[in-house]
Structure 1
Amino acid sequence: MKIEVWSDFVCPFCYIGKRRLEQALASFPHRENVEIIFRSFELDPNAKKETPLSIHEIIAQKYGISVDEAKRVNTDISKQAEAIGLTFHFETMKPTNTFDAHRLAQYAKEKGKLDEVVERLFYAYFTESKRISDRDVLLVIAESVGLDRQETEAMLDGGRYAEHVREDEAIAAQLGVRGVPFFVLNQKYAISGAQPVEVFRQALEKVWTEEQQSSSLQSLTEEGGTCTDGNCAID
């Protein structure tokens, strides 16, 4: 089974959705046969790497609400994160552009380190309050999962993997993805948003069952004109 996940590293529900999917997989008996592929999606491609605004102020401006209302919304999100073992520090978050973070993830995918880098990027932003567009931050993350620092630095400086990010975003556009997280199971079923663990669990069971049923061939003819064990039947 293949699960493709479109997400952005500054999206709180993407991190929550990721963890809920993982919790569903933890109790799924066939989890070893599930491949998860994280795909790139930028919530704001035009976001600046640095801004004087807090995340509360950015949310307030974006949705036309007061800063106090934005703080209440973010407090509620923090509680949802805490319920599944995540810690969000909205007061010290550093809103930023995520394009280079996505390029790093694409590079990590080629090196077999995608899952580790994705988790570290989320953790760096939401829990450690790191600016994940900062070159040194990205290099530390790369090194922490075993990627070569110099090779990673050359990759970031050279602009490589930009086309991979754009390709993922183009596929998302073709699928009509307007928000993240967005999960696609076996290129057939979609789950939008950070759904409850039980929703993910039911989806896993449904897709697995269907996958096993479809793997059995259904005969369109009656038996005849075949050879088995060195003998050929002649009708």
Structure 2
Amino acid sequence: MKVEVWSDIACPFCYIGKRKFETALQQFGQSEEVEVEFKSFELDPNAPKGSSMKTYEMLAKKYGMSLEQAKATSENVALQASAVGLEFHFDKTVLTNTRDAHRLIHFADAKDKSKEMKERLLKAYFTDGVDVGDHDVLVRLAEETGLDGEEAALMLSDGSYRAEVERDEAEARELNITGVPFFVFNRKYAVSGAQNPDHFLDVLNQVYEEEKGKPAFKMMNNQSKTEYCSGDNCGEEE
């Protein structure tokens, strides 16, 4: 079984959803038969690198709320992250462009390190509060993941893997993916949002047991609410 996951580094529900899916995968009896591939999705392709604006200020400006309301909203998301063992520090996050981080994941994939690189980048953004758009930072994170720093630096400087990022995003458009995280199973079934582990487990079991020749692509029934990010907006949908 192949599971393709479209997500962005700067998407809080992508990190939460990733951890919930991993919890389900640990409980799935045939987990060794599941191949997980991370796909690029930029919530804001035009975002500047290393913005000086803080997350609370950005949220307040975007949604017309006070800084106190923006902080409360962020704290609610942080609580959801804590429930799955993650530590979010929105007061430290550096708003930035994530394209180079996505390129780095593709570079890592060529070295069989994409899962480790994806996890390290998400932690860097939401927990450590570092600028994942800065090349020096990305090289350091690559080295921490076991990749060659000089190779990573050369890749970042020469523009490698841009085509792979653009290909992923073109595929997302073909599949009408407008929000992330978005999980596609065997290019037949899809689940959107940071669903609970039991829902992911149900889907894994159903897909595994499905006979071949079923409809080419369909959405699996989601729960009543789901958390996801679309464009530069993140929230909960009924």
Match of 1:147 in 2: 147
1:93-148: CA deviations, max 9, x gaps?
Answer: 11111010000001111111100000000011111111101111111111112211
Q: Is the 8 A contact 2:52 2:95 kept in 1?
A: no
1:38 aligned counterpart, secondary structure: strand
* Bigger mean CA deviation after superposition, 36-45 or 68-77: 68-77
Quick one: which amino acid aligns to residue 146 of structure 2?
A: G
> What is the CA–CA distance in structure 1 between the aligned matches of 2:115 and 2:54, rounded to whole Å?
29
Partner of 1:168: 168
| TM-score normalised according to structure 1 size | 0.88
2:180 aligned counterpart, secondary structure: coil
Matching of residue 195 in structure 1 with residue 232 in structure 2: no
Deviates more, 1:85-94 or 1:55-64: 55-64
Counterpart residue number, 2:67: 67
Quote how far apart the aligned CAs of 1:67 are.
Answer: 2.1
Counterparts of 1:148 and 1:78 in 2: how far apart (Å)?
Answer: 33
Matches within 5 A, 1:104-183: 104-183=104-183
Aligned equivalent of 1:6: 6
Alignment partner, residue 86 of structure 2: 86
Unaligned runs of 5+ in 2: 214-238
Equivalent residue for 2:36? 36
Query: Partners in 1 of 2:57 and 2:174 — Cα distance?
Result: 32
Structure 1 position 52, deviation (Å): 2.1
| Matched letter for residue 17 of structure 1 | G
Structure 1 segments, 4+ long, off by >6 Å, are none
Q: Which stretch shifts more, 136-145 or 14-23?
A: 136-145
The structure-2 alpha-carbon separation of the partners of 1:112 and 1:178, relative to structure 1 and needing over 3 Å to count, comes to: same
Deviation at 1:66, TM superposition (A): 2.3
Q: Name the amino acid aligned to 1:214.
A: K
Give unmatched runs, 5+ long, in structure 1: 216-235
Larger Rg: 1
For residue 72 of structure 1, report the CA deviation from its aligned partner.
1.1
Paired residue total: 213
**Structure 1 or 2: larger strand share?**
2
Return the alpha-carbon distance in structure 2 between the equivalents of residues 198 and 162 of structure 1: 36
Name 2:102's counterpart in structure 1: 102
Shift of 1:63: 2.5
1:214 and 2:212 aligned: yes
